[in-house]
Each structure stands twice: as C-alpha cells, then as structure tokens.
A and B are shown apart, each in its own frame.
Chain A
Amino acid sequence: MTYKLTAPLTRDAAARLRAGDSVLISGVIFSARDAAHKRFCELLDDGKPLPLPIEGSVIYYMGPSPALPGTPIGAAGPTTSYRMDAYAPRLLALGNLGMIGKGRRSREVVEAMKAAGAVYFGATGGAGALLSRCITSAEVAAWPDLGAEALMRLEVKDFPAVVVIDSLGNDLYDIGPRQYRERHGQE
C-alpha cells in the first residue's frame, strides 16, 4: 500500500501502517541527529521543555549539506539510526510517533515503539540530492552552534519513505531478506 501521510502524525494514522507500506509524507517534520538527541535528553534530565512539539512528531535522522543559494537545503538523506537508539525511547514515551532514518533499531527502541504506537520509516540512504527536492523549507529550530547537527524544522511535500518497523514490531529488515531467500530456495 502507498499512503499519503500528514505530519505531525495522528495515532490512528500511525496504527494503520504496516511494515512494507510505502508512504509519501507531507507537512512539518524535524531533523535531529546525534548531538541534538544528546541535548534533548540533557534538557529532559534538567526538567526543561523540548524545543519542538513532541506530540505526534516525526523526527528525521539527518544532517544536511549546506543550502546552495536560492534553495532551502542541501543534500538531505537519512543517517544511520542505531546511534539514536540510546535516546529514542525517552522521546517515544513523550509522544513522538515517527522516526525516519536507515538501518536497524535496538530491541529497546522497538519495545518503546510498540508501547507508544509509533512507526519507524526508512528513507533511501545515499539519495540525498533527490530527497532534498521534497523539502520545501528549512529553518534552524534550536542549537545553531551544532552546524549540520542543529535541530531543524522542515516543511516536506511527498517525502518518500517505506515503513520498516510498524507499531506492532514487524521489521522489514527481517521480512524482506527472508522473502528473497525463500523465493530463491535457500530456506
């Protein structure tokens, strides 16, 4: 199935998605990677508010290249998600419903996703030039000192992704390769 999704997400929209579904995401998402996630958790440790509306949020694990003149953003593909695994469960517990990245997630993250009803999307790694075309505006939402790792608020239009792990914990990284091997008589 291909779904058109609006971000931020509703719980119903997230619950409907299944591993393997294709989605086109439009609306407002936030990009954050290693350094911004570390700061999220430092703020939470100090009992301070997060610099983004977390309820229903979609967080894109991405640090762009600089925008060329006349464009909102440079190349903007996903970074490897497991580096955010140490931080993601805390955000999921607060209402974060979608993560976009690439690569495997830890068992702790998958359990936190199931508890929260959240979804993990995969975007095509290494396709940063193409994906940047789906981002219509980009502004630094916090921590400009982090450069490419700053928290950014992005407006996206038909951003293509695939549901890799759904809110039931089904994981396309297990299912897809297994189906390939079965098709080729290896299992």
Chain B
Amino acid sequence: MRELDSRLIAEAVADMCIRANTVLPDDVRAALDLARRDEDGEAARGILDTIIENYRAAGPVPICQDTGLACVFVEVGQDVHISGSLMDAVNAGVAKGYTDGYLRKSVVRDPLDRVNTGDNTPALLYTELVPGDRVKITVAPKGAGSENMSRIAMLKPSDGIGGVRDFVLETVRLAGPNPCPPIVVGVGIGGNFDKAALLAKKALLRPVGSHNPAEMYSKLESELLMLINSTGIGPQGLGGRTTALGVNIETMPTHIASLPCAVNINCHVSRHVTEVL
C-alpha cells in the first residue's frame, strides 16, 4: 500500500488556497472574454471590461475580498494510506494559505454567536473513496454573496423537466443583482435532499463551457443558459445579456416519489484548483 505523508497534503492545500484566490481559472477567463464579445449594451460592456481588468490585475492581491469558505474536495484512492490526520492536514493547509496569502478570514465558529475563528478554518471537507492509490484534491473557495442566493426544491415527479426549468429560472430571477452576475449556475437533480445540494455544488467544479455527457441534460444546460440570458438581468444586475456564463447540471438516481432539484449559484469569480498527489 502506498504511503502519503499528510504534511504533503497540508502544503498542497496551502498553495492551492492562494492560487485559487489570486488566479482566475482559464475556463472562466475564456467565458468572460466571450461574453464581452457578445454583450450589446454599452454599460454592460463597461462592467465586463472592469471584471476582466480586475482578474488581470489580481495577484498577489486576491481577485475578490470574499476569499470564501474553503471548500476542499478530496478523493482518496483505496490503495493509499495517509499517515497523520487528513482533516488536520487540510485545516493546517487552509490556515497557512489564508494567513500567508493575505486572504480574508471569513469563518465564524458558531452560526449564532458569530465569533471569527481567525484563520478561516475549519475547511468544508468533502471526502470520497475511489479506486487507485492517488489522492486528488480540489480547492474551491466559495463566496457567500452567491451561496446565499442558492435554493433547493423537492419537486414532484409530475413536475418533470418543465418543473426543473422553472425552478432554476425562478432562482436566478430572485437572485437578481445580489450574487454578482454574471454567474455560474450549478444544478443538482436527483438523489435526496442533501445529495441534490452536493450535486449542485459539484456541478460548479466542472469547467464553464463543458457539458453533461447525457444529451438530454446537455440540451437542458444550453436551453437554460439561453433563457437565463434573456432575462435582461445582465452584468451586476444593471441590464444586459450576460446574466450567466454557464449552466452545469449533474444528476443521480432518485426515489420513485422524488424529484429533488438544487441550484447552487456561483459568482463570476468561480474559483477551483485541482492537484493529484
């Protein structure tokens, strides 16, 4: 069995927190550049220019001051043994990255007493056991402006694809200018209450512009993007074509009585960095 020192995980996480918050991924850059080309409103184009100028100007200053909750997805191969605590290593990495990288500490220790923990820990750690002897780590800092506009619905099977379409659109309309459009829309369909939400979050990890491999869902992604970009909400909600850069749908089997549908919204600072150890 392969041995992996947890200190290597801590080092990788620290580095990834800094990179994720200062360098916008290529897929999002490309989507913003494309959106700027296709935008037809003068004010909307100006806002997209500012957003593009901002990601170019970032580093070492973070792209956005909301450097987020540190969402860390770890896929652990069944044939690797991690020496030391994985959770401690991830938290040590987050504390080091957020301190050394001058990133904002945005975590309170309790949802009601609201005292800041001071180092952005604990991370939100999602682990999964997979075949192989590698450890794949994805760091996806998530801002709260967009997270707060996310919703879930326990639809009825009879609501069907139309019900899903309506719920996603309604969620984007209700969000309006609040989540810093242009947004990226992650949709999770199926599973149960909690799995649908997780699917929606994982959908945001897929590159903007990629498509669900199933034709029905790939078409639904394109249709939803077109409908969302017809609302007129536009960049920052001030009117324009570019309300969303992409819609990513992930699905899984569900109960005969259920059609859970979760919508996780991300802002245009859609951050994710992956490394394999």
Judge whether A128 and B105 touch: CB under 8 Å: no
**Which of these binds chain A: B2-10, B131-139, B172-180, B253-261?**
B172-180
Q: A63-B65, A130-B50 are in contact. Are A103 and B104 (CB under 8 A)?
A: no
How many of B's residues come within 8 Å of A, CB to CB? Answer: 50
Judge whether A65 and B50 touch: CB under 8 Å: no
A36 to chain B, nearest CB (A): 12
Hey, which chain B residues are within 8 Å of A51, CB to CB? Answer: none
Q: How far is the CA of A181 from the CA of B103 in the complex (A)?
A: 39
Quick check: is A125 within 8 A (CB to CB) of the other chain? yes
Judge whether A103 and B62 touch: CB under 8 Å: no
Hey, which chain B residues are within 8 Å of A13, CB to CB? Answer: none
Q: Main SS of the interface on chain A?
A: mixed
Judge whether B241 and A104 touch: CB under 8 Å: no
Hey, which chain A residues are within 8 Å of B177, CB to CB? Answer: 102-104, 122, 173
Quick check: is B269 within 8 A (CB to CB) of the other chain? yes
Quick check: is B102 within 8 A (CB to CB) of the other chain? yes
Q: How far is the CA of A162 from the CA of B43 in the complex (A)?
A: 10
Q: How far is the CA of A128 from the CA of B180 in the complex (A)?
A: 12
**Which of these binds chain B: A40-48, A74-82, A88-96, A110-118?**
A74-82
**Which of these binds chain A: B51-59, B78-86, B88-96, B213-221?**
B51-59
Quick check: is B129 within 8 A (CB to CB) of the other chain? no
Judge whether A180 and B60 touch: CB under 8 Å: no
Quick check: is A53 within 8 A (CB to CB) of the other chain? no
Q: How far is the CA of A75 from the CA of B276 in the complex (A)?
A: 30
Q: How far is the CA of A175 from the CA of B59 in the complex (A)?
A: 35
Hey, which chain A residues are within 8 Å of B161, CB to CB? Answer: none
Quick check: is B64 within 8 A (CB to CB) of the other chain? yes
* A-B pairs with beta carbons under 8 Å apart, 8 shown: A67-B102, A68-B60, A77-B65, A127-B53, A127-B64, A128-B54, A147-B105, A186-B230
